[in-house]
Amino acid sequence: MAMVPGSRGFMKPLVALVDLDAFYVAVERDLNPCMLVDKPVLVVQYNPFENSSPEESAPSGSGSGSVGSSCTFGVRTLPFDSNRIISDHNNNGSAIAVSYEARALGVKRIMRAIEARKVAAAAGQELVVVQVPTANGKSDMEIYRRYGRKVVDILRAALPGCPVEKSSVDEIYVELMTPFLKTFIANVGGVDECIRIAGATHIAGSGIGDDAAAKITAAEMRMGFAGHGAKTDAELRAQLNQSSFWTPPTADDTNSDSPSTYALFAAACAAVAQAREKVSVAFEGRLTCTAGLGISKITAKLAGGLHKPNQQTGVYPTTASISRFMRDVPIEKLRGLGGMLGQHLIAHFPTAGLLADAPTQRVVDLIQNAKWAKPHETASRVMKLAKGIDDEAVKERTRASSISTGKTFRGSHGSSTGPLRTFADVATVCDALCRELEVRLEERRSDTGDVPTVMTISLSTLDGKGGSRSGQWPLGAGSSASNSSALAQSLLKRWAKEVGANESNLGITGLFVAANELQSAGVHRQRTLDDHLKNMPPPAETTTKPALDAAPPTVATPSSPTRPQPVPWICIACTLENMPSASRCEACGTLRGGSLPPASTLALHKRPAAKSLSSILGGGGKEKKQAKLRR
């Protein structure tokens, strides 16, 4: 039965948010299933204060990497396939991910390792703590990025023709186009089959059932909401079959040329359910995902947070359903209202429903009183979000235009984690960062043939003189980490000269290196040669030949100034690389610019043989498994 008789299609395409459940835990379980599956697990940041030396020994993993084999900035190198389970109960690393088994014991993501162990022990279980991989003196998140890319590939194949946007390391938006949904209905055998597959979907805003989960606060979500829990497929269907939302289709619903809203919504829920199942099958059930479906990014994201893990929730695409769904949502869960603006408005409008119904001028006045820029535009934006309307479209991102890496130095002066003082210190850091950058650039070159054309360095300093400088990547500079490091150091020296920095006490507290404007190697080579010719002086009116041993310039600069591009920032709590516009860490929720107390020295626990990267992400010639939906 169609919820809106005679309605045809959607106002705009439905959007799905696919959120990878306890993502960092899931990756670690896939790497080390016999030690971590079905156990309460906490994944923590590396310890930037361990001050180890390369000579210190530690238990070796049985994978290709060895623990303690190298050390940079006092941090041991721990490859993804090495032994990273922490047996030292004095280690106090901060959490970036908590398994649902640990959440059921009361462990929350805001806890550090010692407190989390105590909470688990009080509940009668031992918590397994795993540290993220490290390389070049910092966390090495590449293994997580590769898993994320693999999931994106699976979703693209399962939902052909639908734009896919990788929003963060563990969140992917998909726009479910009407032509795809019509084809999907035909391929699965009709609307009846779509309804059967979609039957395990929670429906929010329909007026049927309880939407109390919408009242979960943003703080509860960030801490690791313990109310979420895994359900078997049978339990989930038994619970949802009590509602009367999913009913047999009518002739109006099954019109193949113009399916009803109800039919297209059922197809969308079914298609996402199938895609999620294919992800689960690809990783043998160790990596699952939760989905939210709605008329916009904001409704999809909010819906996806209601029922976890390995479940999905849809907001039926009618004005009445969206209004019911948004009514009790705390406003701090709306995008852009988790900070100061949200704190200012929450005293007057604690829920999205109250904000949506407020007089526009009153909202404008409140924003203006808070000294916020563009009060009329801001008021219009937040009131739209409160109604579930989101102007931000799903943007297909095939390839990133830049790759960056960085590290912060906020420890005590004179320590291996303290501010960088001299150019000798800077050279060591540039070498380490460019080694990581070159590994990622080489992977990009192998995949697409792209090379960087511009390097940007960004830095923060104790005296506030930090900033950024950019320079053109010369021919051949992308071929080695040493060339990249030399270019970065040249840009840093240019910065120091231009701001009058004290070269004996630079006081650099954060340094980031970005490879920008990636493009095909042929285009880059032609552009670089053209710029070189433009910058050449006119030939002198003489017959004297130029000296054969004349030295070329060490750093090529653009013929016109290059606007520095915003670069990602590194979370001080969990070391995740975040988008430049993010005010809070995508992984752990820590505010940008936050600080942490020191963590204690790591000790490691032996683990069995680890997998190779090729076997993890589809290599090794294993026969692909066919995804089958649970019935």
**HEC letters along 143-168:** HHHHHHHHHHHHHHHHCCCCCEEEEE
Instruction: Decide if 170 contacts 151 (C-beta within 8 A).
Output: no
Alpha carbon distance 436, 433 (integer Å): 5
Could you tell me the pTM of the whole model?
0.73
Q: Which of 286, 261, 309, 378 is nearest to 26 (CA)?
A: 286
Higher pLDDT, 628 or 285: 285
Paired tokens of 361: 């001028």
Token pair 């630079």: residue: 506
The three-class DSSP label of residue 128 is strand
Give how far Cα 631 sits from Cα of 193, 199, 254, 387, 562, Å. 11, 10, 22, 36, 57
Could you tell me which residue, 558 or 370, shows the higher pLDDT? Answer: 370
Domains of the chain in sequence order: 14-21+144-330 (3.30.70.270), 23-139 (3.40.1170.60), 336-386 (no CATH), 403-534+553-566 (3.30.1490.100)
Beta-strand pair 312-315/202-204: parallel
pLDDT digits (tens, 9 = 90+) for 439-470: 888 888 887 788 888 999 999 999 888 899 99
Query: Could you tell me the pLDDT band of residue 59, with boundaries at 50, 70 and 90?
Result: very low
- Span 189-209, pLDDT tens digits: 999 999 999 888 988 876 654
The conformation of residue 549, written as its DSSP 8-state character, comes to T
- In tens, the pLDDT along 150-165 reads 999 999 999 999 999 9
Confidence of residue 569 (pLDDT cuts 50, 70, 90): low
What is the greatest pairwise CA distance in the chain? 95
Output Rg (C-alpha) for the chain, integer angstroms: 27
Higher pLDDT among residues 205 and 506, named by residue: 506
Instruction: Summarize pLDDT for 216-266 with one digit per residue, the tens.
Output: 554 544 444 444 555 555 555 555 544 567 777 777 777 767 788 889 999
Instruction: Let me know the angle formed at the C-alpha of 280 by 274 and 282, rounded to the nearest 5 degrees.
Output: 105
- One-character DSSP codes across 250-270: -TTTT-SSS-BHHHHHHHHHH
Per-residue pLDDT tens over the stretch 96-116: 999 999 999 999 988 999 999
Least-confidence region, from 165-169, 398-402, 623-627: 623-627
At residue 269, does pLDDT exceed 70?
A: yes
**Which residue has better confidence, 239 or 89?**
89
Tokens of 328: 């009790």
Residue 627: pLDDT above 50? no
